[in-house]
């Protein structure tokens, strides 16, 4: 049998023509392009997390509207489109408009306008106002080509993301962007189609001015899989690629698929929705032949950490949230809760929906995001986070071989890096750290788990054991074990199907680390169900 040949995978490549001409793998999304461009509404907005394919979709739309039929041979749209009319296209990529003050942002907008003028052969108008220049560009393009103009704006919110927590800079930059986008409504009769992408949704009042006819398709079930890769696409269009990946991992195809699923799957941007894989991480994994945190490692937005601090969100409160549909449309600049931003940024996703209550259940989508988030937050608790990789790796090995004692000895080393501050003199601080550390081990960890008799501080499930962990501050480990027994915590998990181990841990607030612990196996195990 002829060996399978590895294809080129376009992680980080956002240019449709390069992908098609240089034979990169392309998961066909052109049916969505046809559906979008033949809709009743010619103004559309889509928000998705960073590196989720928004820019590639925008570039695909540009190629389609320019009538470049040859790029779409063999794709779904080839059988749907019959006219292939070419339109003048204005494409504005706002992704480089970050970390700019008002004057620099205005200069950047003029730069983008100049690029589009040169592309269409339009003489620039002598004006200092970007919105007037955009108006002239649209009208002149319409006159020159004698047809309507297409406007594509990628990452419309990029200039505002890093200042969304700042009360002084945000209004100034928001006004600049609002004025720039204002011609999109006034020039409606000259426009064939307008498409904007972004991560967040700033209110239409403050950012789009009177552009109140834009259709937000972000949570439309018809477009749920427009960005990202579905399980069905994995098993059909990418079946041979998964087989190759499995060979490189020296495992079965089904096991390789399960590993990819646990790390990169689990996103839902509507309900109902198929499972969506992170396309950036998936392509990177197939290209490099290994599982890593590619998406999270490509950059954690600083604004996210700032907003976590602003809303005082502790690690164990990130997941397991509920919200109404209206919460997804909450204007970013007037948020009273961080949930919409977590969702829009890709750190939470829809996991369920109750038609009875009208509430969406949100949670962290997969292992890549969970581990990446906890690593980012741990720097707030330890002074030398660079040492954690070795220590956490050693702890993971201990726990894998049921050596909790060895793991806790290593944890002493981790906690010795905790800086002294007033807020460390309460159990919750150490509880948060142990949650972060156990999460980095890759095991299922939860805190403040309710039982009929009270709350367990930490519950951790490995492949072979369920640990019930109780934390005490300036007391002793025996007292922690007594609380587990007194509250009959093990009974809550009697059906977990795993041996249950009780762990009592005592922290010393003067030494800033754990000083003693006890580990006891429960006398019963379960035979059915899981927690």
Number of domains composing the chain: 3
Clarify whether residues 350 and 450 are in a common domain.
Answer: no
Clarify whether residues 337 and 207 are in a common domain.
Answer: no
Clarify whether residues 174 and 148 are in a common domain.
Answer: yes
Do 261 and 282 meet the contact criterion of CB atoms below 8 Å apart?
no
DSSP collapsed to 3 states, 78-143: HHCCCCCCCCCEEEEEHHHCCCCCHHHHHHHHHHHHHHHHHHHCCCCCCCCCHHHHHHHHHHHHHH
Domain boundary among 223, 255, 285: 223
Lowest-confidence region among 100-109, 317-326, 448-457: 448-457
How much is the pLDDT for 251? 95
Does residue 229 lie within any of the structural domains? no
- Edge to edge, the sheet with strand 149-154 lists 89-93, 149-154, 191-198, 43-47, 215-216
Residues counted in the chain: 531
Clarify whether residues 219 and 311 are in a common domain.
Answer: no
Clarify whether residues 211 and 354 are in a common domain.
Answer: no
Domain boundary among 186, 203, 223: 223
pLDDT, tens only, 426-461: 566 777 777 777 777 776 777 667 666 677 788 888
**Average pLDDT rounded to a whole number, residues 170-175:** 88
Residue 202: pLDDT over 70? no
Residue 166: pLDDT over 80? no
Clarify whether residues 188 and 309 are in a common domain.
Answer: no
Residue 207: pLDDT over 50? yes
Does residue 272 lie within any of the structural domains? no
- Checking DSSP bridges between strand 229-230 and strand 149-154, what pairing results, if any? unpaired
Average pLDDT, the chain: 85
Clarify whether residues 462 and 389 are in a common domain.
Answer: yes
At 263, the pLDDT band (50, 70, 90 cuts) reads very high
Closest by Cα among 147, 227, 156 to 193 = 147
**Which CATH number goes with the domain that contains 34?**
3.40.50
At 230, the pLDDT band (50, 70, 90 cuts) reads very high
Does residue 285 lie within any of the structural domains? no
Clarify whether residues 74 and 209 are in a common domain.
Answer: yes
**Which CATH number goes with the domain that contains 519?**
3.40.1350
Does residue 125 lie within any of the structural domains? yes
Query: What are residue 525's DSSP bridge partners?
Result: 499
CA atoms within 13 A on the CB side of 306: 9
Which residue would you say has higher pLDDT here, 172 or 335?
Answer: 172
Clarify whether residues 183 and 125 are in a common domain.
Answer: yes
Does residue 166 lie within any of the structural domains? yes
At 2, the pLDDT band (50, 70, 90 cuts) reads very low
Does residue 5 lie within any of the structural domains? no
Domain boundary among 186, 204, 223: 223
How much is the pLDDT for 427? 63
Does residue 160 lie within any of the structural domains? yes
Do 314 and 428 meet the contact criterion of CB atoms below 8 Å apart?
yes
pLDDT, tens only, 59-103: 999 999 999 999 999 999 999 999 999 999 999 999 999 989 999
Clarify whether residues 408 and 435 are in a common domain.
Answer: yes
Clarify whether residues 357 and 457 are in a common domain.
Answer: no
Its domain, for residue 339, covers 302-363
Clarify whether residues 493 and 437 are in a common domain.
Answer: yes
At 163, the pLDDT band (50, 70, 90 cuts) reads confident
Does residue 263 lie within any of the structural domains? no
Task: Looking at 294-426, list the stretches that DSSP marks H as alpha helix, in order from N- to C-terminal side.
Answer: 294-297, 302-310, 325-328, 339-345, 367-378, 388-400, 404-415
pLDDT, tens only, 5-55: 668 999 889 999 999 999 999 999 999 999 999 999 999 999 999 999 999
């Amino acid at each position: 049998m002829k060996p399978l040949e590895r294809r080129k995978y376009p992680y980080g490549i956002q240019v449709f023509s390069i992908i098609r001409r240089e034979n990169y793998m392309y998961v066909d999304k052109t049916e969505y392009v046809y559906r979008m461009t033949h809709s009743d509404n010619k103004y559309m907005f889509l928000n998705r997390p960073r590196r989720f394919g928004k820019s590639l979709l925008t570039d695909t739309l540009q190629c389609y509207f320019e009538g470049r039929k040859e790029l779409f041979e063999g794709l779904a749209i080839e059988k749907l489109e019959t006219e292939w009319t070419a339109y003048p296209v204005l494409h504005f990529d706002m992704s480089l408009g970050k970390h700019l003050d008002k004057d620099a942002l205005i200069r950047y907008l003029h730069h983008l306008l100049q690029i589009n003028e040169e592309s269409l052969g339009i003489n620039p108008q002598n004006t200092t106002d970007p919105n007037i220049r955009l108006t002239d560009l649209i009208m002149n393009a319409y006159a020159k080509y004698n047809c309507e103009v297409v406007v594509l704006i990628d990452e419309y919110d990029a200039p505002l993301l890093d200042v969304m927590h700042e009360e002084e800079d945000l209004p100034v930059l928001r006004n600049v962007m609002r004025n720039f986008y204002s011609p999109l409504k006034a020039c409606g009769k000259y426009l064939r189609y307008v498409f904007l992408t972004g991560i967040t949704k700033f209110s239409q009042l403050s950012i789009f001015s009177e552009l109140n006819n834009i259709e937000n398709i972000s949570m439309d079930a018809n477009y749920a899989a427009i960005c990202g890769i579905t399980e069905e696409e994995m098993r059909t269009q990418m079946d041979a690629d998964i087989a190759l990946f499995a060979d490189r991992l020296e495992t079965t195809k089904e096991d390789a698929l399960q590993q990819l699923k646990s790390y990169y799957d689990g996103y839902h941007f509507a309900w109902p929705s198929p499972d969506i894989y992170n396309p950036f991480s998936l392509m990177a994994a197939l290209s490099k032949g290994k599982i890593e945190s590619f998406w999270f490692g490509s950059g954690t937005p600083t604004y996210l950490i700032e907003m976590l601090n602003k809303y005082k969100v502790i690690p164990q409160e990130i997941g397991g949230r509920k919200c109404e549909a209206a919460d997804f449309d909450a204007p970013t600049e007037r948020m009273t809760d961080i949930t919409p931003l977590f969702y829009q940024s890709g750190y939470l996703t829809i996991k369920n929906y109750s038609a009875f209550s009208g509430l969406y259940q949100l949670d962290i989508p997969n292992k890549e995001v969970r581990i990446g988030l906890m690593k980012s937050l741990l720097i707030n608790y330890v002074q030398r986070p660079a040492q954690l990789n070795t220590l956490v790796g050693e702890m993971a090995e201990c726990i894998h071989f049921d050596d909790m004692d060895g793991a806790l000895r290593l944890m002493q080393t981790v906690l010795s890096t905790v800086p002294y501050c007033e807020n460390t003199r309460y159990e919750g601080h150490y509880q948060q750290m142990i949650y972060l550390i156990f999460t980095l081990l890759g095991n299922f960890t939860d805190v403040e788990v309710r039982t009929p008799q009270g709350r367990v501080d930490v519950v951790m499930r490995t492949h072979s054991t369920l640990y019930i962990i109780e934390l005490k501050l300036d007391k002793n480990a025996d007292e922690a074990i007594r609380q587990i027994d007194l509250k009959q915590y093990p009974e809550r998990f009697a059906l977990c199907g795993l041996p249950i181990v009780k762990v009592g841990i005592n922290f010393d607030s003067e030494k800033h680390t754990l000083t003693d612990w006890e580990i006891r196996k429960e006398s019963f195990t379960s035979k059915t169900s899981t927690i």
